[in-house]
Amino acid sequence: MIISAVILDFDGLILDTETSIFEAWRAVFREYQQELSVEVWGNALGTHGGYDPCAHLCELTGLTLDSEVLRRRVHEAHIEQCLREPLLPGVLDVLHEARAQGLRTAVASSSSRGWVERWLAAHRIHHLFDTVCARDDVKRVKPAPDLFLLAAERLDVPPERCLVFEDSPNGIRAARSAGMRCVAVPNAISRMLPLPDPDLVVRSLAEIPLTSLIARLGCDIGGRPPERDGDENVSFEA
């Protein structure tokens, strides 16, 4: 098996945005003497529309709550925490090694394009990706395979030659459905959930060099000749 491209999820894989939004919603639930479990929240990981915390809280309390106000509060707390988050360990290593090996690179995220590109720009890594695929680009998000198949199409690489890095069960299901190899990199939230049959599980992207990881999967690298990255000082609109 030849690997010619690597595709990374965004939330919880490149930046730990998952913990902060879960904790923000859990704080709201506790204000109403309710508990939001990781198992319930797991339905929201890696997808969009898989879980509605406002509706759930209304159901638990029997109250009619202002969902717009609650969502605004959570969003503000979420952004404040994300601004303090560094890139997760090993992200830069994987991207630089992929580029050096001539592998194509992509982000495939169930989040909006505006959200993903905001943080790629803030951390100055947008230039390390050949394409960004977000929920704006497809009819179905993960666990459907559409985002990964679109990334493969844009990269001009067959799906079976793509290696996906994912942190969530929904993302792993999507990668497998797309016919791609998948390495699970569970974060603080998703490591408490069962993972649906990834090819390999690592504790972080820093655990093993990319070339060694690909060899461990029994695959070879079939990348294009390395290309020079664009100007690292270019600014992207958030």
For residue 213, give the 3-state DSSP assignment: helix
Please identify which residue in the block is written with the tokens 């194509």.
104
Residue 200 DSSP label: E
Q: From the candidates 9, 130, 146, 167, give the one annotated as an active-site residue.
A: 9
Distances (CA, A) of 61 to 32, 41, 52, 64, 170: 7, 18, 14, 9, 28
Residue 167 among the catalytic residues: no
Catalytic residue of the set 11, 16, 130, 199:
11
Closest by CA to 116, choosing from 17, 200, 203, 218, is 17
Question: Alpha-carbon distance 6 to 95, whole Å?
Answer: 9
C-alpha to C-alpha distances, 187 to 50, 134, 192, 193, nearest whole angstrom: 19, 21, 9, 10
Closest-CA residue to 182 (of 169, 123, 30): 169
3-state secondary structure of 166: strand
Strand partners, 108: 133
What amino acid positions are annotated as catalytic residues?
9, 11
